Structure 1
């Protein structure tokens, strides 16, 4: 069959040339669609389920949320395993599926199981699926901050939106921000309600995660003495706020031929509206919120924060949709950010902090450089060996056409272009089949011309070209088959190995198949079209020189083969010995240029304390002249895709270009050493240094951030913790092991409140039949929300930051306040557990 294809290609040479031209156009279009990234995506098929319940502790979250969710997922087709992470108020369950499972089918099945398990979860718990992304998904990060913090260095004008002469900030909505908390909450509002909705419209974006600032709230701070004086309880205050924040409709009425919509709008719209809300009446006089307390702008209890160059900021992360082109999506996001900046409030700016496209561009530039240099080298060698420029160009044309055909095949097979897949291409293998056909055709044409003693007619030339190509069918097929078989074992790899090396094998096999097709169609057709006139088949000077040196050695080897055989065996034995001295590594580590410094503090460290310690770290690192930018993400973000406890922080260090490094800093290892030297004086931090992609891959694949992890299974957590510490001690003695630590499973303080309410007179609290525990004094109350053009602002009772101690907020607040003449005794008892004693009421 191949012989017939060769003959047809020569006869229909113009058709083959035109078909190849169309193929080039198709390949050029396909290469623009090829997903480009730095490395292969080795993330397994997984679905993450995140649940947020701020009122539940770790033990309750595990029993009431994590365990029911894990149990509900059991038996899903394709499910390999589940793992979970439970912290205070947060639960994450990761379901890992087989690689052959369709990720959309997996997410659909998980959603159905969660719906079935809804009755087994606490009221109000709504497990949510994490965005559809992978370990390569964090492609872009940006910060939202004031360009001139506190108005320093900027012209101010009273009454105009922006910074005011007194240091306050006036928003375009007319709200005056005077405290640092209110300003941080406004930055978060800008991110959540202006930037995030627009970013989610960018094609290829799966989600936008945010760290930093405060979720804005209007906080009612009741005066306990005023409440007692008016005989108003906390419950009545909360109920009054709910009644004052309603909107209802009643269809429409007809009048004079028109329809009028009936609507009662009692929504609260500002602080003054809240202050004017009526709680009750005393002696016919309304008691308003302003009479029993004050209303201020505050922030919700946060589990994460962000910082940049030593100052707090809102750090947002763009998550790329699975299968998209990271470089293209990152560029789209960057362009969108420029557009969004034009519409932001005065002096608020959103600046890029991390852009994956820089790494991708650098990686692809390296690959392109190697490919171009390899192609030019092959062309030069072909010209020197073939001695015919036309034949060399025909052979060299196989290289770009093969690349375009390979891009189409990679798109069809779902293989991305990266350092492993494109870097594995070997042009010597690609042109192997074409070289032997071209060389044999030149030989046959030259011999026929010499035999005829004249130039060949077109018929004779086509006949010789066909015969020459057909003579090389067997060596061409055998050569390609042998190379194919060499790479077949790579396709049997599973897990991370398969995701790493299978794309390389697939890409090379597609390229070889494309080159083989070209060698039996395009090459004979082009020889028939281009190789005309006088053809001479003479050995070029390099070949003649090499033969002159090789011929005597070959004669000696044939005459006395034993010494040469023994010498070959000796060289092989020496090579085996030297091979045993080589180090072993799964794959070379990609230099991502950027650096991540993960810092851990004691488990009891709050998010505010971690943030303050992190700001000192940023101040130290930004002093290095080779560092361009330092920013951090502390604790847990909104979407929970990268769950960290409050005592942990990820610091991103963005170095300057190598040309701007100071003297004495020549390699990345020098930068790491200088970073470690800067970190050493900062006590209270345990540091791990990695790279962004490397860290994310480790965490998603195994649930830990380190390169190597030892997992223990058992029922006794204390016994496993002790065993883990012993294992870590042994691992530290291994040469090359660094930053060996056992996971901390204890040490986080928590307080247990046990309140006893005894009523001497059952009528003291007429609203209660019997004493009932209340969560309101501990968790605060959220009686409603504001609905505004760009805001959805929750408001609650408590201090502005809602991070004060229990006694400060509610420790002196009885569950029910007495009316005059009623006798009530309230006693509270607080028990301490692994923490500082809480002030008693």
Structure 2
């Protein structure tokens, strides 16, 4: 079949050339249209569930929300882990499914199961749109400034714009899952009642709330039919008529005018709220403005900062931003300070940030183009944003994709150029090198076609890690053999076309068989699962596509090109380089054959040295995928306030921005209102984009021999991180700092459940004991060399003001627990009573005590509680005289008096009597009693209301855990974790256990899978070798080449100081096929010559000499094909480098070791008669 294909190609030159042109055109189209990603998504299907229950403690969230959801979600098909976090007002659930489970099916199954959970009223769990690599763009919303530098628009304005306009705009873009918000303040209209004024007017809290709710609505009547027409009858009672003032300002051009109009409209709505009537006595209305803080507004006063105001719920987080000042053309403004050019920084302590999230599995670049087009449209189209407001992106995945793509293109271009030079050096024939050089990009384009047809994306690993020097081996062998036949006198009596056919047929079987073996050697990559499968299986598939395309090209295009270009090729001897290499090789080979026991002994010694050096070879999962920025996380004490965190983080922001390599600094404190990031006020995250590395200043003095060439150099990124860590630790001692990158951090967090690169999870039942064990383990592993950024996500430590309701005291006043709870909830956090409708927007109208009445424990305990259905004694009403009433008192149903409350006007009683009959109330402290030291014990009047509680309760698969997170720097991951494991073994008591997760867990799982897959793959290759040789000795001999090349890979890793990783393992599997192919062809050549009757020594020497040029060419093309990737330090090269170093080191071993080893080993058993057919692979 293969020979027929070659014959057909040689006989149909025009068709082959036209097909090649079509292949090139289709490949170029695929190359320009295939989706490109920086890195593949290593995570399986992960569905995150968020449920918010404001005001509930971590323990209550665990009991009321987390556990019911855990039970409902348990047992979903393909579910591997369920990890949960319970903290104040929030439950977060991470459902990690097995690899291969479809995300959409997992998501739908989760939604179905959530409906079965028995949850408290008002709790509605939601699916988070976040994915590990979903953050593709971040932006801030900037407001114009007035003459004093103050923002014209408030944080509530910008937050409303983001939440009600921008989020909707971005969600409509194909491929975008959501645009989440961080920072700003959620706008609400806040009524702040004055308890003294409410008491004076006899108004209860429930009356106030009911009155506001009843006074803010539209109603529908019915149709009013008048003759031939019908009109709809409506009652319009919405505050502000439901109109959106934002729509009005969109048509304005002056930012100051627009901001003034917004403030004026807000004040008009606040005045309307003040005019709401709560009740009336003797036809005298009691309005909201009469009972709020500050009382009614004086005549002529339009605005007030008390009583009824624009407020916001307690902020859960905030965002600050530092970036260089830019002029109108976008250039950074610099100033001369102390003789140095320094950037001028703009610090925004408060801003609103938007994060655009990519839908799981969607293509990044098309979505990013649409997002940026939408931003340009919003910024530049009048009437889309308020005057002066702009959307300013500060992080864009496009830059990372372009940078990594440029790195890949550069490495490929340089590699192709070096391969072409090597071919010219060995063949001394431009036409031969041209044929091979043409086939190389054609094989690449063929691989792109396959990717495009399969709907797969290209990425740094799938393209950049493919060694095209290895891929074109089949073309090299084909062209070299045809060139050898034509340049010699072989078949010289036959026609030119027939000579090419015979030259091609000589190697058709060996090409097909060797390619099949190389594909079989890729089976470990093709069958990879887990995170390493997500990362490297696309590379193996691309490799297989390129190998298949190269084989087809070698069997069709290469003979046709030789037919066209070699017509006038005259016989010529080998060039000087080949002759020189052959002489040197044969001289050394004869020496080895003459001292073969010494050669074998030296080889065994090298094996022993290599095995002895393995413990010094560090291990890690995969090298960090460079993203061009630094992600810094600080953990403050659990009970820290948002304001205190903000003050300390301002200093940290300043320290980070002072590094000249830094482009900007974005600080995120706390968590977003959506709950997508489950953390508290104690969390501070700094996103630090860096300049391109070529723009980093050379500030580090050079050392050693390098000083001869330059005096200073740029800092390496680890040096920059070390400097940042030292400065932050010195300026803010006692805090734990962690350094990572956004994508890496997100991936490791969702796959391990812990915010950190690695962690040790302590599993048990008692959260107090877990806390103590966590502190002990943290102190112990901190002493292990290589362990950095050690920290603990504390379970306890949250200060709680607990107000236990005393049921006995409540019964004396006929007050229910619900009444007291209602007062606590309303007074402290605020209770929503209605919605302010503004066009498509709606904002809460809440009732909340003034801050002066809830600012500390004593004031909170003095909060009044209305007493209902309490009879006023006769002594309280003695001395009262008749009061003439004009009209009936209304709306005082909650007062519970046995007699009607007199009016404040026209009453005939003294002020003393007024106080005695006013609405009865009790203070909160009179209805509660502290709990004693025993939380489960009885109430204790001598106890304290303040106690420490849980801040964060983590669970995994239904069990409580506490996590101690850490990073590893300056040492390999495997040995560091092994040492840490040994150090904590004696600390864990019975009933508790530890689990090490994060990058280390991924490494162990990946290595475990490779230990199963690689032997199976090698066994399959061994079977193929036996079928090829029909000799066990020959098959074992070829297999020894794998061992020899593997030694070269190990030495290369040790020499360069690179740890063994999954990437390096992929490099080893890549060279298995090359090692077996080279050994196959060499042993087959020996067998062929032996079958012709040559003596053993002569057969070895002639067979080895015949293989000098092809072996040297294939080895050097493989080396130089990946050499650029092996030495590159640019963004995108970090993950390729271990693979490339292994391939280069292994192929160097071919040049200096295996070319001598295999002939020597063959000399020990080659006297036997070669099995029939064992030399058919000689070419």
Answer yes or no: same fold by TM over 0.5.
yes
CA contact (8 A) 1:391 1:438 kept: yes
The 1:815–1:12 alpha-carbon spacing in structure 2 relative to 1, beyond 3 Å, is farther
Contact 2:135 2:357 in 1 (8 A): yes
Report the secondary structure of 2:803's partner residue.
strand
Q: How far 1:50 moved relative to its partner?
A: 0.3
Return the alpha-carbon distance in structure 2 between the equivalents of residues 521 and 543 of structure 1: 28
Pick closer, same or farther for the CA change 1:815–1:800 going to 2, 3 Å: closer
Distance 1:215 1:749 in 2: 25
On the 8 A contact 1:211/1:316 being kept in 2, the answer is yes
Change (3 A) 1:529 1:259: farther
Q: Which moved more, 1:511-520 or 1:66-75?
A: 511-520
| 3-state SS of paired residue (2:234) | strand
2-structure distance, mates of 1:482, 1:318: 46
| Distance apart, 1:502 and its partner CA | 2.6
Q: Do structure 1's residue 305 and structure 2's residue 305 form an aligned pair? A: no
Contact kept in structure 2, 1:761 and 1:823, CA below 8 Å? no
Matches within 5 A, 1:13-24: 13-24=13-24
Structure 1 CA distance, aligned partners of 2:545 and 2:832?
60
Q: Distance in 1 between matches of 2:353 and 2:378?
A: 16
Q: Distance in 2 between matches of 1:761 and 1:753?
A: 18
Going from structure 1 to structure 2, the CA distance change for 1:807 and 1:199 (only over 3 Å counts) comes to farther
Name the structure 1 match of 2:530: 495
Paired residue secondary structure (1:472): helix
Report the counterpart of residue 706 of structure 1 in structure 2. Answer: 756
Equivalent residue number for residue 274 of structure 2: 275
Give the Cα–Cα distance (whole angstroms) in 1 for the partners of residues 20 and 523 of structure 2. Answer: 29
- 1:347-746 superposed matches below 5 A: 347-411=388-452, 416-446=457-487, 451-452=492-493, 460-536=495-571, 538-658=573-693, 659-661=695-697, 663-664=699-700, 666-679=715-728, 680-683=730-733, 685-746=735-796
Mapped to 2, the partners of 1:800 and 1:617 lie a distance apart of 34
Whole-Å separation in 2 of the counterparts to 1:759 and 1:67: 33
Match of 1:125 in 2: 123
Residue 411 of structure 1, CA deviation: 4.7
- Name the SS of the counterpart of 1:739 in structure 2: strand
- Mapped partners of 1:644, 1:420: distance in 2: 34
1:55 is aligned to 55
- Which residue matches 2:847? 797
Q: What residue in structure 1 maps to residue 358 of structure 2?
A: 320
| Residues 1:770 and 1:400: Cα distance change in structure 2 (over 3 Å) | closer
| 2:86 corresponding residue in structure 1 | 86
Give the secondary structure class of the aligned counterpart of 1:741. Answer: strand
Match of residue 5 from structure 1: 5
Change (3 A) 1:152 1:468: farther
Q: Indicate if the aligned counterparts of 2:27 and 2:446 stay in contact, CA closer than 8 A.
A: yes
Deviation readout 1:623-669 (Å, 9 max, x if unpaired): 33332211111111244332222110111122334434362352223
User: 2:170 — aligned with what?
Assistant: 199
User: How far does the alpha carbon of each residue in 1:769-818 deviate from its partner, in whole angstroms, 9 at most, with x for none?
Assistant: 99675243454221122222463222212268899557757943323574
The farther-off stretch of 324-333 and 626-635 is 324-333
1:228 partnered with 2:199: yes
Q: Matches of 1:121 and 1:249 in 2, distance apart?
A: 34
Change (3 A) 1:322 1:551: same
Counterparts of 1:365 and 1:493 in 2: how far apart (Å)?
28
Q: Which residue of 2 aligns with 1:158?
A: none
Which of 915, 921, 924 is 1:828 aligned to?
924
Matched residue, 1:345: 386
Residue aligning to 1:162: none
Q: Which runs of 5+ in 1 are unaligned?
A: 154-166, 172-182
2:131 is the counterpart of 1:134: yes
The answer to whether the 8 Å contact 1:45/1:97 transfers is yes
What TM-score results when the alignment is normalised by the length of structure 1?
A: 0.88
- Please give the secondary structure, in 2, of the residue aligned with 1:585: coil
Per-residue CA deviation, residues 86-142 of structure 1 (Å, 9 max, x unaligned), is: 11100011111111111111111111111222xx111111100011x5321112111
What's the offset of the Cα at 1:348? 2.7
Cα 1:57/1:534, change in 2 over 3 Å = same
Higher mean alpha-carbon deviation, 782-791 vs 216-225, is at 782-791
Q: Structure 1, residues 47-75: CA drift from partner, whole Å, max 9, x if none?
A: 11100111322111111111111111122
For structure 1, which segment, 491-500 or 223-232, has the greater mean C-alpha deviation from structure 2 after superposition? 491-500
Q: How far is 1:561 from its partner?
A: 3.1
Match of 2:1057 in 1: none
Instruction: Measure how far apart 1:719 and its partner are.
Output: 2.3
How far apart are the structure 1 equivalents of 2:439 and 2:768?
65
Q: Secondary structure at the match of 2:792?
A: coil
Contact 1:758 1:826 in 2 (8 A): no
Distance change >3 Å, CA 257–CA 507, structure 1 → 2 = same
Q: Distance in 2 between matches of 1:614 and 1:469?
A: 71
- Cα-Cα RMSD: 2.9
After TM superposition, the structure 1 stretch with the greater mean CA deviation from structure 2, 108-117 or 415-424, is 415-424
Task: Tell me which of 145, 149, 152 is aligned to 2:148.
Answer: 152
- What is the distance in 1 between the residues matched to 2:618 and 2:42? 23
CA deviation map 1:432-464 (0-9, x unaligned) = 001111222233445579834xxx8xxx44433
Q: Would the aligned equivalents of 2:803 and 2:945 in 1 still touch at CA under 8 Å? A: no
Is contact 2:178–2:358 with CA below 8 Å preserved after alignment? yes
CA contact (8 A) 1:84 1:91 kept: yes
Q: Are the counterparts in 2 of residues 798 and 809 from structure 1 also a CA contact under 8 Å?
A: no
C-alpha distance 259-390 of structure 1, shift in aligned 2 (>3 A): farther
Say if 1:575 and 1:544 are closer, same or farther in 2 by CA, change over 3 A. same
CA distance in 1, matches of 2:192, 2:91: 31
Query: Do the aligned partners of residues 208 and 562 (structure 1) sit closer, same or farther apart at CA in structure 2, a change above 3 Å counting?
Result: same
Question: How much has 1:41 moved relative to structure 2?
Answer: 1.8
Aligned twin of 2:329: none
Matched residues in 2 for 1:58 and 1:770: separation?
21
1:740-779 to 2 correspondence within 5 Å? 740-755=790-805, 758=810, 773-774=821-822, 775-779=825-829
The answer to whether the 8 A contact 1:629-1:653 is kept is yes
Residues 864 and 921 of structure 2 are in contact (CA less than 8 Å); yes or no, is this contact kept in structure 1?
no
Compared CA separation, residues 242 and 378, structure 1 to 2 (3 A): same
Determine the C-alpha separation between the residues in 1 that align with 2:13 and 2:233. Answer: 80
Q: CA deviation at 1:557?
A: 3.4
Contact 1:34–1:325 (Cα < 8 Å) also in 2: no
Name which one, 1 or 2, has greater alpha-carbon Rg.
2
SS in 2 for 1:747: strand
CA shift for structure 1 position 218:
0.8
Q: Is the 8 A contact 2:737 2:789 kept in 1?
A: yes
2:865 maps to what in 1? 814
The residue that corresponds to 1:296 in the other structure is 309
